[in-house]
Chain A
Amino acid sequence: MKLLVIEDDKTTVEYIKKGFIEQGNIVDTAENGPDGLFFATNNHYDLIILDRMLPKLDGLAILAAMRAANIITPVIILSALGHVDERIKGLKAGGDDYLAKPFSFQELYIRASILVERNTISQKTNGPVTELTIDNLVMDLVGHKVTRGGIELPIQPKEFQLLRYLLEHQNKVISRTLLFESVWDYHFDPKTNVIDVHVAKLRKKLEENNQSQLIHTVRGAGYVVRTS
C-alpha cells in the first residue's frame, strides 16, 4: 500500500517510514502542514498518518481541508495529546483512528492495516460473513457457537467477541490496547494485565482436549491467531 506520513519530528518520521518500508509499502513524507495538504490532494494514498501539531498548519485543519475536498482516504491521527477530549475532537474532524504518542510501530502498523483492509472491503462488499474458521475451529457468528474438532466450547459473550476480533484479523499481531478498545469499546489503556488474563482464559478453553495452540503471544506487541 501507499502511505503519506505528515509529521515534523524527524525521528518519528524515520521510525514510521522504516517500519512500513520493511513491510513492503511505499511511504511519502511531508514535514509541514501545507506540504502535507499538497501531497494529499495531488496523489492517491491508501492511508495518511497525520500529526496533530504541525508547523504552519494544524493537523486538524489539514484533515478538515482534505475532507472538504472530498478526499476520503483513511487517516490515523498521531498526537502527544492523549486526552479523551482530544481524541473525540480528532475523530469528529474526520479522523479514522487516533494514536497517542509515544506508540509502538506494531500498534500503528496493525491499526493502519486494519483501516486499509476495512476501506477495501467496504468498497467491494461480499455480503455479511456468517462463519469464521481456522484450523479445526469453527465460529458460527449467527448461532453464537464455537466448536473445535466438532466439540462445542463453553464460550462467554466477551470471549466470543475477543475470539471473533482475533479471527477476523488472522495472522496479524493485535495489541492489547486494540483488543480492549475493539471488544469493550472503551478508549483508554487499562495498564494492568487484565487483557492477558482474558486471553489466557480463552486460550485455555480453545486448547482443551489436547488441541493445538491458536493464540500466540508476541512479546512486547500483543497477540496473533495463526495455525502453529
Chain B
Amino acid sequence: MWLERLKVFTRTSIWRFTLIFTLIVILICSSILALVYHFTVGEQQRKIAQQVTIVTQGFADLANSPSMTKNDFRSTIQQRIDKSGTIILLLKDNDNIIGNLSSLPKNVANYPKLQHFPIAIVNHLGDTTVEIVLGTNLETRFGRLSIALFDNNYQILESNFRSASIVALSFALVVTLISGFLLNRRVLSKVKEISELTANVKAGRLKSRLPLSGRQDEFDMIAEQINQMLDEIDELINSVAQVTDNIAHDLRTPLSRIRISVEDNLSLCDEGSDDAQWRIGLLVEIDQLIDTFNAMLELSRLEKAVQPNSFAAVNIESLCHDVIDLAMPLAEEKNQALVLDINIDNDTDNQTPLSIIKGEANLLFRAIFNLVDNAIKYTPTGGDIFLTCNISAQKTEIIVRDNGIGIDEEYYKLVFQRLYRLDASRQGKGFGLGLPIVKAIIDLHGGSISLSPSNPGLMVKVILK
C-alpha cells in the first residue's frame, strides 16, 4: 500500500524537480566548500611549503657558496636543529650521518619537488608516534640533505574540514529533500482534490466544487476556473432538463383537457356504440401519452433530486414481503414460482434492526416491484423468479434473479438509458422508462444497480448502503 503510494509520489514532476534542485544545491555547496578549502587549508599548506622551500633554498645557497667548508656546513645544520624544534634535517655523506633523523627516508622527491612523508618519533617516555612532515631532498656537494617541517596542523585541519564538509553536505541534502517532500505533498494534495472533484462530477454530483484557500495563489486560480466551468455546465444541464420538463409539463395540461372532453361525452354515448368504442380507444392512447410525460417528468425530478426530506426509516424486509404479496398473483397466472429469501446477518449487537434503512418507502417499493414485475414479464410460463435480500451491517443487497430470456450483455448499460427499448420496433408495452426510473431511485438512495447473466436468465443486483 505505502509502496504503491511511494511510487505515485516519486512519479510526480515536483519530485523530479526536487531531485534536480537537490543536485544543484549539492553542487553549489561543494564549490563553496572547495573555495573555502583553497583559502584556508590550502593557504596553510602553501605557507608550510613556502617555508620548506625557503629553508631548502637557504641551504642550497649555503652549500653553493665557495667559502663554505664541509665542517662549517655541518655545524650550521647542527645549529639550526638546536635552534628550532620544528625543523628536521639530515645530512648523509657516504656513511656519515648528522641530523635529528636516524635514517634517510626513501623515495622522497628531490628539490624543488616537495612531498609529505611519515616519520616515527620517540618521546621522552619511550612512546612512538607517527607524524607527517613535508620535506624534500637536496643534493649538495657535502652529501645528500633531507629537509622537512612538521605539518600536523595540516592533517588535523584537513580531517576537520572533511567531516565538516560531509555534515554540511548531508544537512543540505536532508533539508532540500524534506522541503521537496513537503512541497510535493502540498501540490499532490491539491491535485488529489481536483481529481476527487472530477470523479465526483463524473459520478453525477454536479454540485461539488473545489475549496478555495483564499491565498489567491495559482491553485486558487485553477480552482476558481474549474468551479466557474462547473457552474456553467451545471447551468446548461439544468436548462436542458428544465426545457424537457417544461415541454412535458406544458403538454400535459392540454392533454388532460382533451382527456376530460373525450371522457365527458363518453357518458352520453350508448355503451357498445361505435362512438363509445372510438372514444375508449382514444382515452387509452391519451392515457399512454400522459403516462409517458409523467414518467419523463418523474425521471428528471428523481435524477436532479438531492436526498429529499421525506427520507425516513424503511423496513426493507417487510417491504420485500409486500412486493411479493403484490406480485404473487402475476407469477401464479404464468405458473411461475416466485420465491422470497431473506438473509439477515445477526452477528452484530446493533440497537436498531439491520433491516431498517433510511429511504423513501414508496420509491423503494416501486423500484423493487418494477424489477420483480419485469422478471415475471420476461420469464416464460413455468419459470422461476427469486427475490433475495441479504442484509448485513455494511450493506443491503437485493437480488432479483430469473431463468427467463435474459438480455445480451452488450445491452446491459443501454437498458438504463432514458427511452431505450430492447425491441427496436418499439412495439411492446411500456415506454422504456421503467429501468431508468429504477436506477434513478437507487441512485437517489446512494446505491448501485448492476445486471449480470444468470445462465439462463438475468440477475439484477441492487446494493444499498
Contact = CB atoms under 8 A, between A and B. Distances in A.
Interface string A191-202: 110100110110
B228 to A, nearest CB: 31
A201 B329 contact: yes
Contacts of A197: 329-330, 333
B418 interface: no
A15 interface: yes
A92 to B, nearest CB: 9
Contacts of A84: 308, 310, 360, 362-363
Contacts of B297: 82
A85 B308 contact: yes
B290 interface: yes
Contact of B259 (A88, A100, A102): A102
Interface residues of A, number: 32
Interface residues of B, number: 40
A12 interface: yes
A188 B259 contact: no
A78 to B, nearest CB: 11
Contacts of A212: none
A194 B327 contact: yes
B310 A85 contact: yes
B373 A220 contact: no
A197 B330 CA distance: 7
A67 interface: no
Interface string B296-326: 0110010001001110000000000010011
Contacts of B291: 191
B360 A105 contact: no
Interface in A210-228: 219-220
Nearest to B256: A102
Contacts of B361: 186
A107 to B, nearest CB: 11
A100 B333 CA distance: 31
A184 B366 contact: no
Contact of B326 (A12, A15, A194, A200): A194
Interface string B334-365: 00000000000000000000000000111101
A11 interface: yes
Given A102-B259, A197-B329, A220 B283 contact: yes
Interface of A: 9, 11-12, 15, 18, 80, 82-85, 88, 100-102, 104-105, 157-158, 184, 186-188, 190-192, 194, 197-198, 200-201, 219-220
16 contacts: A15-B264, A83-B301, A84-B360, A84-B362, A102-B252, A157-B325, A158-B325, A186-B322, A186-B366, A190-B373, A192-B330, A194-B326, A197-B330, A200-B329, A201-B329, A220-B283
